[in-house]
Chains A and B, each alone.
Chain A
Amino acid sequence: MAVTTPSEVGAQPVRAGRRPLLSSSRLAWTGTLPFLGYVGVFLLLPTGIVLWDAVHGSSGGFDFGAVSTLWSSSTRSYFVNSAELSAITSVLGAVLGAVLSYAVATGNPEGLIRRLYLAGSGVLAQFGGVTLAFAFLITIGPTSGLLLHAGWFYDFPQGIGLIYVYFQIPLMVLVFLPAMDGLKAQWREATETLGGSAWQFWRYVGGPLLAPAFLGAVLLLFANALSAFATIAAWENQISYVVPQQIGTALSSEVGLSSVNQADVLALGMIAVVAVVMTGYTLLQRRTTRWLR
C-alpha cells in the first residue's frame, strides 16, 4: 500500500536560492494543528471530563462505585434497549438503503432522479428531533394519524424504530452510494463474457466487494442510532428506554450530584461502545477504499 509521508504532503515548490521558512515536515504538521485543536476541544476534552467525573465520587476522591453500576441490572437494561433499537434500525436501514442505492447507482448518473435522491438524502439524514417525531405522530399516530391509527406507535422498539429507520435509510444511501458507484461496469461485463449469470456476479464479485462497505455502513448506522437523543426524547419524555434518554433524565433530575455521576458513567459506557463500533467501521472502510476506488 502506498504510504504518503508528511513531507510529501507538505512539500511546496520553493524558489531557487531561498530556504523554506519551515522545513517541509514541520509545515505538514502545522497544517493539521487546527484539526487537532478542534478534536482536542470538542472530543478529547469532554471525554476526559466524563472519564474523570465517572471515577470520582462527590467528595472529590477516587471512587469506582459509580462505574460498577454499569453492570447493575437497571443500567444494563438501558444498554440492552439501546443495542436492540440500534441493531434493528441499522440492519433495516442498511438493507433498504442498499436497495435504494442500487437503484440510484444503476440509473442515469446525470439524471434528475439521482440528484433528487442525493439532495433529499442529505436533508433527510439530518432530519430528526421534534419535527420528525411530530411528522410521524400526525401521519400514523394512535389518535391523530392521517394514514392509520397505529396503536403500537408508542411501543418500544417498533414505534420509535420506524421513526429511526426514516433517517437511517437516507444516511445509508449517502454512505453506501460511493461504494456502489465504485463497482466498475467492467467487472460485471467481464463476469458476463466469462459465462457468469447475474446471480453469479453478485455471489462471487459484487457481493464480496461490497460486503466490507455494507458492514461498515451498518456499524455507522448503529452508532448513529445509539447516540440519537432529540428524536426519542420528543417521542417519549416520561419513560427512559435507552441510554441517551437516561443520561438526559439523570442530568435534569433534582436529586443532585450522584445523578450527575450516573450520567457520566452512562456516557462513559456509550463512549466505549461507540469507540469499538467506529474502530470497526474505520477498518472496514480502509478495505473498501482499496477495492472500490
Chain B
Amino acid sequence: MTGVEVSLRGLHRRYGSVVALDGLDLTLAPGELVALLGPSGCGKTTTLRLLAGLEDADGGQVTVAGADITHVPSNKRGMGMVFQAYSLFPHMTVRDNVAFGLKLRRAARAERDRRAMEMLELVGLTEQAGRYAHQLSGGQQQRVALARALAISPKVLLLDEPLSALDAKVRAQLRDEIRRIQLEVGTTTLFVTHDQEEALAIADRVGVMRDGRIEQLGTPTDIYSRPATSFVAEFVGLTNRLHGTVAAGSVNVRGCVLPLADPATPDGQATVLVRPEAVTVVPSGPLTGTVIAVTFLGASSRITVDLGDTTVLAQLPTSEATALPAGSAVALTIRPDPVLVA
C-alpha cells in the first residue's frame, strides 16, 4: 500500500481562552514522515488529535487523499494511532490487541490471526503473541501498539511522543525501527515529539511549531543549517548567543565579519546566533580564551571556552579536542556562514 497526501489548512482550535492552534497549515506528501517539533504547549498534540478526529476544529479543513474529512468521526477515518504509553488493552493478549481493529471490522478469526501474526513479525514480536501487556517491557508495548495501528492498513499513521516514556538506548533503537517499518509499509506518517534529535533523525521533513502554527517546515538539514527564524535556530541544536555590531549587510562579532542571513537587518547592536560547528580552533585568531570544559560526543567533541566576558561553545573532531584539555589556552575563529540575529 502506498501513502496518500494529507493536508491541514487553516486549522483553528481554542480551549476557553487558550489558543491551541492558530491557523495551522501543513501538507504531507504521500508516504512522507513529517515530525512535528516544538516546545510544550505549542499545539503538537492538538494537531495530531484533530487529524485523528479525536478533537473537533473550530475552523479549517482536513483532507486525506483529496477527500474532505473535516467532519468525519474518528472511527470512520481509518487512521492508525500510537499513544505515548499504556494504550494496550490489559485484558487481551498481544495477538488479540493487534487483531482488535479487524475484529471491530468483523473479519473472520483466521484472517485476523493471520494478519496479527504478520504485523507482529514486522515488529519482531511473534514470540510474545500470547503474552499480556504487563508481561512486556515499555519498548515492547510500544511495538505492539505500532503493530495494532498498522494492522488496519491505516491511511495515515499518527504517533504522539511514542518514545518519550522509554529510556535513551531503547528510544534510539525503536526510533530507527519505526522509521524502517514506516518506509516498508509506505504509510504517510505524522510523528509528534519534543526531542529535536529524534525529529531530525527520523523525519523526511520537520515542522517546527510555535504558538499554534508551523514556524518552519523543511528537511532536517534545512532546519538545522538554515533556520528561518531565531526561534528555530535556538530551539533546534545548541546555539551561541554572541554580541555583535551590524553594519552594511554584515555583522562584526569580536573581529569576525559574518554575512547576515537576512540582509534587511537594521544597523546597530545585535545578538548574533552562531552554531558551535561554525566556531573553529585556529593557531592564532580573533577570539582567544581558556578551555573550561570538554564534552565527548563520540566522533566529535564540544569544548566550552571562556572568553573573559562570556563563554562560547565550539564543536570539533575528537582527535583535535584531545589536544585541548581544560585549562588550555586556545584561539578561535567563526566560519563566515550566514547568521541570524535574535
Contacts and interface: CB of A to CB of B under 8 A. Distances in A.
A194 B89 contact: no
Contacts of A187: 87, 89
Nearest to A1: B134
Chain A interface, >50% SS class: helix
A184 B133 CA distance: 14
A190 B105 CA distance: 14
Contacts of B81: 189-190, 193
A187 B90 CA distance: 9
A65 interface: no
Given A200-B104, A290-B134, A186 B86 contact: yes
A292 B54 CA distance: 23
Q: Which of A189, A192, A193, A205 has the most CB of B within 10 A?
A: A193
B101 interface: yes
Interface string B70-83: 00001111111101
Nearest to A188: B54
A184 B78 CA distance: 21
A194 B83 CA distance: 13
A204 interface: yes
Contacts of B53: 192-193
Contacts of A196: 75, 104
A209 B91 contact: yes
A197 interface: yes
B84 to A, nearest CB: 8
Given A200-B104, A204-B103, A193 B91 contact: no
Interface string A201-212: 000110011000
A61 interface: no
A205 B87 CA distance: 12
Interface string B254-280: 000000000000000000000000000
A17 interface: no
A152 interface: no
For the side of the interface on B, what is the size category? 20 to 34
Given A189-B54, A290-B134, A184 B101 contact: no
Contact of B83 (A190, A209, A290): A190
Nearest to A205: B89
Interface residues of A, number: 20
A184 B76 contact: no
Contacts of A191: 100, 104
A192 B83 contact: no
Nearest to B152: A194
A195 interface: yes
Nearest to A190: B87
Contacts of A189: 52, 54, 74, 81, 83, 87
B194 interface: no
Contact of A192 (B74, B86, B103, B158): B74
A291 interface: yes
B89 A193 contact: no
B90 A193 contact: no
A281 to B, nearest CB: 19
A13 to B, nearest CB: 25
A209 B148 contact: no
Q: Which of B76, B77, B100, B103 has the most CB of A within 10 A?
A: B100
A205 B88 CA distance: 11
Interface string B106-148: 0000000000000000000000000000100000000000001
A186 B87 CA distance: 5
A186 B152 CA distance: 18
A292 B148 CA distance: 21
A197 B81 CA distance: 16
A193 B104 contact: no
A204 B100 contact: yes
Contacts of A204: 100, 103-104
Contact of B90 (A195, A197, A200, A291): A291
A291 B91 contact: yes
B86 A184 contact: yes
A197 B104 CA distance: 9
A208 B90 CA distance: 10
A265 to B, nearest CB: 43
A49 B195 CA distance: 66
Interface in A189-235: 189-197, 200, 204-205, 208-209
Q: Which of A192, A291, A292 has the most CB of B within 10 A?
A: A192
Nearest to B81: A193
B2 to A, nearest CB: 21
B104 A194 contact: yes
A195 B91 contact: no
A292 B90 CA distance: 8
A200 to B, nearest CB: 6
A194 B90 contact: no
A190 B148 contact: yes
B78 A195 contact: yes
A208 B91 contact: yes
A192 B80 CA distance: 10
Nearest to B82: A190
22 contacts: A186-B86, A187-B89, A189-B83, A190-B83, A190-B87, A190-B89, A191-B100, A192-B75, A193-B77, A193-B79, A193-B81, A193-B149, A194-B148, A195-B78, A195-B104, A196-B104, A197-B75, A204-B100, A205-B89, A209-B89, A290-B134, A291-B90
Interface of A: 184, 186-187, 189-197, 200, 204-205, 208-209, 290-292
Given A186-B83, A193-B149, A292-B90, 10 more contacts: A186-B86, A189-B81, A191-B100, A192-B75, A193-B53, A194-B100, A194-B152, A195-B105, A200-B104, A290-B134
List the 5 closest A-B pairs by CB distance, nearest first. Answer: A194-B101, A186-B87, A193-B81, A291-B90, A196-B104
